[in-house]
Structure 1
């Protein structure tokens, strides 16, 4: 097992033996292959965290561990009963979902690192690929929530952002407000849709479907502070191993948490520029641009008025 797996699943030993000392104590309460009831607080067993209202939860996505298997995409689709989109090859490597949308709340980005000038020297290893499972960032200072006129977007008791379709009027204000291009209107019902960070599962004490299905623990779920600490340790470890290009995106003071966003509840560990992954380097809240835009508009109007006065006064003379 990898070191990242050990960090995320601290109760599993490196020897991976099915002995009592290597498992979380509560696992021993459920030894049968078939369970006829819902396990209370199952997230304790799958993610090592107890989900409680009032605490701040999120995702830490380590892109250096992503293998592009799309298990997260499938799990998200299945749990949320989201329909498939265009069926067929996109011509974009192995990326056939193309991006996040109203019916794709998890999207695995495939970036082929090909040196066109030295293709003969490049070895066909996976080190030439960058992969990342993208998702709604659940911003701590969410622009989409600010833009919503009906209150359809709200912050949950788990510090995540969710859309209530029964309140959404389909105005679409949240779509351009999102600096990451996450929120999308569904043409079938005219309502806004995006990742809920499995709000229904959190209320039932279950780990989000995408994180639970990730075989390499590239997607890790937990309390935000714990994830941040774990992510910093991972960056330091990568730097010690020579991967000095690793850094965090979406944490306080880092790229992705700019323009008043403060921090992203779903943040990432990247090894190349944010733009390579399709992420903005310096996202901002649109509301921050209202005052400057208004000032510019008033200044323009005043300038036009002065110019008109000058022209008319010149004609009278």
Structure 2
């Protein structure tokens, strides 16, 4: 399924490819980090709605971030990145980010800026976690999202290294894997996910993925016109290494600054080829095994004559 679309260059319909005959339009998240104020309302709303347990809330000493990263009990994570960049004159100056519109050409220079971004599972078009799950705990919904069924997960952990973003994690008490479900229960009731509902600045936007991509492109153009040259989209391209993300981002710097891989690739992309080679090798071994047993018998038969 994955290889067919990658080779043809066509944009896949993950829900239809997963067996949903007449799926609704694919939905997703567009997170505009240029208007994120780091309030963590999305984290709180996610925990409250999904009954996710508290997971430490320990400050690192390097940031105001007290949840540190996505995990089994943190399905939305707001990153706080304090950034100092050398200015052309050699001093460490940057325009301060204005929450409403981003740093404009006339912004006052400052010593630092905060880059804030609410991270989440990407709900990949080509989801490696689905490929490796042996129990069917991970499945593709009719909305194109990827969900873990905790009552079916056997704690094998195969999905953890399969994720190119490091999103999935196992809980230490029973080993079961957890991640964002994009509030699948709310989607079925015609509601938006809790995180998007709670976001006060509309940094997290939810809706049909095609509409979000168009909206995001216009937002990048708007920021470039305002002089924010570093604004760029991440995870929106259907022909990237994971077939495009169901949750994509507008960033103000390189993906690595936000802890995101610059060129994510579905980790199971070579599985079909590997299985073909394995099958050919197995047939060769079987043939050699058969010959090794049959040939001596044939030779003995000739000797008796």
TM (normalized to structure 2)?
Answer: 0.73
Aligned to 1:204: 189
SS of match in other structure, 2:205: strand
SS of match in other structure, 1:252: coil
Change (3 A) 1:293 1:247: farther
Shift in Å at residue 292 of structure 1?
A: 7.6
User: Could you list the per-position Cα deviations for residues 63-98 of structure 1 after superposition, in whole angstroms to 9, with x for gaps in the alignment?
Assistant: 101011100001001111111111432213111100
Aligned to 1:159: 144
Of 117, 128, 148, the match for 2:133: 148
Counterparts of 2:257 and 2:57, CA distance in 1: 25
Counterparts of 2:142 and 2:237, CA distance in 1: 21
Shift in Å at residue 243 of structure 1?
A: 1.4
Counterparts of 1:153 and 1:206, CA distance in 2: 22
Aligned to 1:192: 177
Aligned to 2:65: 95
Alignment of 1:217-228 (within 5 A): 217-228=202-213
Of 242, 257, 260, the match for 2:227: 242
Change (3 A) 1:277 1:122: closer
Of 265, 287, 300, the match for 1:284: 265
Change (3 A) 1:275 1:123: closer
Shift in Å at residue 242 of structure 1?
A: 1.4
**Which stretches in structure 2 are left out of the alignment for 5+ residues?**
1-21, 104-112, 278-305
SS of match in other structure, 2:155: coil
Counterparts of 1:231 and 1:122, CA distance in 2: 24
TM (normalized to structure 1)?
Answer: 0.71
User: Could you list the per-position Cα deviations for residues 2-36 of structure 1 after superposition, in whole angstroms to 9, with x for gaps in the alignment?
Assistant: xxxxxxxxxxxxxxxxxxxxxxxxxxxxxxxxxxx
Change (3 A) 1:207 1:176: same
How many residues are treated as equivalent by the alignment?
A: 240
Counterparts of 2:58 and 2:167, CA distance in 1: 23
Of 187, 193, 216, the match for 1:231: 216
User: Could you list the per-position Cα deviations for residues 115-169 of structure 1 after superposition, in whole angstroms to 9, with x for gaps in the alignment?
Assistant: 48735x5677666111100000000111111111111110001110000111111
**Which stretches in structure 1 are left out of the alignment for 5+ residues?**
1-51, 296-317
